[in-house]
Structure 1
Amino acid sequence: MKWSFVIQQKMKAALLLGGIMALIILATLLSRRNMEGIDKSFSSIYQDRLIPATTIIYLTENLYGKRLSLEEYLLTKGAGNKSEIKAQLSAHNQNIDSLIGAFEKTYLVDEEAKSLTAFKTEVLRYEALEKSVLNLCSSGAQEEGRKLFAGAGSNTFKNTITNLNELTNIQSSIGKDLMKESKSDIASFGIISFLQIGLAVVIGLMLLVLIQNSAIINKPKITGEKNQYFNLN
């Protein structure tokens, strides 16, 4: 009876310990997955949100640089250095092309890709207007060049800035979503950690119970042997 009871208790303990070990392994895998998710979220915030946000600042700077350079040239009524203004505009255009290329290498959501495509279209349109303004000034039609710059040129320039503002808003929105996702992963990691601690405590209590049961089972046997010894005497 004692041995059958011991075997039964050990089988129960083994099954329970096996279940707990399986839960611990599962919790460990989930923790690892959460950590990978947190790492991915923070990497995405830097690579796909912070870098594009910085790129937008530089794009805005170059667009305003072009606008101010051409405006300054027009204020001279054609007396400015034509080669110099062309070189300035060309340098800004090259910077803008490089920045757009860097932006396109990041991960883009659908809305972001559409806004970037619209921005590229407006940039090309604005470059064409700049060339038209310079051609008019070169042909002696400075007044017409200034009107084109102040009219269609101004509207196209505003469109490029509007597109950049849209991209900025998208960066902010997606960044907030990534932060929420990271917080969710961190919360899940905390819950799993507490679960692992709880399972460790349960294992410890089970070991104490097993030790106590073993002591109870062995104690009557020792007592019986002592009584037999006394009866023989």
Structure 2
Amino acid sequence: MRFAYSVKQKVKIAVLLFFIMTCSVLIRILEDKSVKNMNESFITLYNDRLIPAMDLYHIVENLYARRNIIESVLYSNAVADELGLKHNLSRYNHNIDSLLQKYEKTYLVQQEKVQLQDLKQNLSSILRMEQDLVSNIYNNQAAAALRLYEDRGKRMFSSATMHLTKLIDTQKQVGNEIIEQTEKIVSGTKIYSNLQLALAILIGILIVGILFTSNVVNIRNDKYNLN
């Protein structure tokens, strides 16, 4: 009867150990998934937030370069080379278009899509305004060119800068949200690690319990045999 009782206790402990092992495997799977999600968050933060934010700053630089070229022609008495002016404006326009195409390929939230569309429309207006300016300047209509820039050009450039600022702010906002999500993932990974440690300690306690039970049974059996 004592032997049957011992076997029954060991079966209970074995079932408990199997349950703990299953929990350990599940925790391990969840931990691997958390690590994968954390890795994806870092990749997204770099490829879809950090790099695009730098590209937006480069667009701002090219936009200001275009504006400086136009103002240097309008507000100076120097006669600019028509082909040189067109070439410089075209070069900066090409740089902006390339950066925008690169930016469009990244992951964009709905707010960014709307802001990007507004920016592209604004840049198209600036391009048409620049073409009219160049045409006026080299058709001896400097006064008309200056008036066009004062009435529309400045406002267009300011609007483009505002759209770019909004996009950069959205980049920061979404980037902060990704960082917060990553922090939650890290916290969850710590919890999984602590659970694994607790289960390991529990397994150790159960093993000691099994050994202790076995020793007690052996001692009792020895005493029984002596009697």
TM-score normalised by the shorter chain: which range applies? over 0.9
State the partner residue of 1:197: 197
Gaps of at least 5 residues in structure 1 are 228-233
Per the alignment, residue 147 of structure 1 pairs with 147
Distance 1:225 1:129 in 2: 109
Q: Which has the higher contact order (CA 8 A, sep 6+)?
A: 2
Note the 1:1-233 alignment, pairs <5 A: 1-77=1-77, 79-227=79-227
Q: Does the 8 Å contact 1:78/1:137 carry over to 2?
A: no
Q: How big is the alpha-carbon RMSD for the aligned residues of Structure 1 and Structure 2? A: 1.0
CA displacement 1:80-114 (0-9 Å, x = unmatched)? 11111111000000000100001001000000011
CA distance in 1, matches of 2:59, 2:2: 83
d(CA) in 1 for partners of 2:135, 2:195: 74
> Distance in 2 between the 1:224 and 1:74 partners?
113
Paired AA for residue 23 in structure 1 = C
Answer yes or no: is the 8 Å Cα contact 1:52–1:106 preserved in 2.
yes
How many angstroms apart in 2 are the aligned matches of 1:221 and 1:45?
Answer: 67
Deviation string for 1:37-71 (max 9, x for gaps)? 11011111100000110001100000000000111
Amino acid at match of 2:119: F
Structure 1, residues 114-138: CA drift from partner, whole Å, max 9, x if none? 1011101100100100010111112
Runs of 4+ in structure 1 displaced over 2 angstroms?
75-78, 224-227
Any unmatched runs of 5+ in structure 2? none
Give the greater-gyration-radius structure (CA): 1
AA aligned to 1:61 is: E
How many angstroms apart in 1 are the aligned matches of 2:182 and 2:110?
Answer: 22
Q: Which amino acid aligns with 1:196?
A: Q
Query: What's the offset of the Cα at 1:15?
Result: 1.1
Deviations 1:19-49 (A, max 9, x none): 1011101110110111011101111110000
- SS of 1:151's partner is helix
TM norm structure 2: 0.97
2 CA distance for matches of 1:76 and 1:220? 110
Identity among equivalent pairs (%): 28
Distance across 2 between alignment mates of 1:225 and 1:139 = 122
| CA distance in structure 1 between the aligned counterparts of 2:225 and 2:176, rounded to whole angstroms | 75
Query: 1 CA distance for matches of 2:148 and 2:210?
Result: 92
